[in-house]
Amino acid sequence: MEISNLALNLIIILMPGIISTLIVQALTVKRNWDSFKFSIYTLLFSGASYLFLQILYLAFFWFQNSNNKLYNPYYLNIWSKFSEDNKQIPFNEVIYASLIGIVAGFTSTLFIQKKLINKIANKLGISYKFGEESLFYEFLEQKDVKCIYSEI
C-alpha cells in the first residue's frame, strides 16, 4: 500500500491534533470513539495548537520589537503550506505545535474528568447536567458518600 505525498503531508501537519486526541481518548472515561469523532477532535486540536503557537510567535516578536516603530509580524510557514504544494513542511513548527498539543490534551482531559465545563455551566445557570456517566458513577466519585446499597 502506497501513501501519497498529500496524505503523508496531512498526517505530519495534523500530528499535534493526533497526539492531543490520543491523550484525551486514553485518559477519559468515555465509550469507544468512532472515526468521525476522532477526526473532528484531531482537526480542532491541530487548529488550536497552531493558532496558539501563532499567538505566541506574534506576542514574542511584538515584545521583542516594542521599541521599534516598524513592527513586522512573523507568521507561521504552516499557513502557506495549504496554498503551495511544493513548499517544505516546517518541521520546527510541527514540533512546537505538538508540544502545545500535549499540553492541550492533558488540559482537556482535566476539564473533562473534573467536569469543569459542567460546573461552570451550572454556576451560570446555563445547564444543570452533571456529566455523561451514569448516576451510580457520579455517586462513587462523591467524597461524602460512604456506602451505596442497591436491591436488585
**Which pLDDT score is estimated for 150?**
64
> Is 130 contained in some domain?
no
> Is 151 contained in some domain?
no
> Is 139 contained in some domain?
no
- Alpha carbon separation from 41 to 23, 64, 130 (Å, rounded): 11, 34, 22
* Residue 89 contacts residue 8 (beta carbons within 8 Å): no
CA–centroid distance for 143 within its chain: 29
**Which pLDDT score is estimated for 107?**
96
Work out the pLDDT band at 67, boundaries 50, 70, 90. Answer: low
Other Cβ atoms closer than 10 A to 25:
16
pTM above 0.85, yes or no: no
Q: Where are the alpha helices (DSSP H) in the chain?
A: 5-13, 15-27, 35-64, 78-81, 91-113, 116-124, 135-141
Which cell numbers hold the place of 139?
A: 455517586
CA angle 58, 45, 137 (to 5 degrees): 135
> Is 119 contained in some domain?
no
Which cell numbers hold the place of 22?
A: 490520543
Range of the domain at 94: 5-114
Residue 113 CA to residue 124 CA, distance in Å, equals 20
> Is 128 contained in some domain?
no
Give 86's DSSP letter.
S
| Rounded average pLDDT over 74-100 | 83
> Is 65 contained in some domain?
yes
Range with lowest mean pLDDT among 43-52, 53-62, 106-115, 137-146: 137-146
